Amino acid sequence: MNPMLALKVGKVVVNMGLGEGGEKLEKAMTVLKSITGVTPCPRKARKSIRDFGVRKGENIACIATIRGPAVDDFLKRAFESMKYKIKESCFDDYGNMSFGISEHINLPGTKYDPTLGIFGMNVCVVIERPGYRVSRRSERPGKIGRSHRVSKAEAIAFMKDRYGLSLDKEE
């Protein structure tokens, strides 16, 4: 097999959107750091929404990006919390996958701390091939050719082989 066609998980992005800042955001960042092992970054509101009491530029969410060997550990725990079942609609046409975890205490190895509370999160998985750096580099960036992109079917097959996922029937 051509080594340039081998698939790999490029990164995993874990997002906790709270809709408010302050003490609740600090607690969410503590939980996210303990789950991922990566220092999370706060994210600001893009626009003001008076009904929700959100002002533009206010920190309302936090995000953590996991790369390297820690990706496998986190994904195995996340899929175990979902009983290794995922819907086909979680995959997009470019080989990326996104799913939600309703409560962080569902992850194995995570203990409930009443002082912090319970938070949900969105998990986005980027599946790519070697050579995708061409599109991200600062000097002379290029496009990824159509034949080199990851398709939805390839991403599903990769996740089934690598993590033992099964597709859940969508109702």
pLDDT tens per residue across span 121-170:
999 999 999 999 999 999 999 999 999 999 999 999 999 999 999 988 76
Task: Yes or no: say if 15 and 122 are a contact pair by the CB < 8 Å rule.
Answer: yes
Q: For residue 60, what pLDDT band results from cuts at 50, 70 and 90? A: confident
pTM comes to 0.88
Tokens linked to 138: 């600062």
Quickly tell me which residue has 């990006």 as its tokens: 65
What average pLDDT is seen over the chain? 90
Domains of the chain as residue ranges with CATH: 3-168 (3.30.1440.10)
pLDDT tens per residue across span 78-131:
999 999 999 999 999 998 999 999 998 888 888 888 888 899 999 999 999 999
Which residues, including other chains, have CB under 8 Å from residue 55's CB and lie 6 or more apart?
45, 48
Specify the pLDDT at position 171: 57
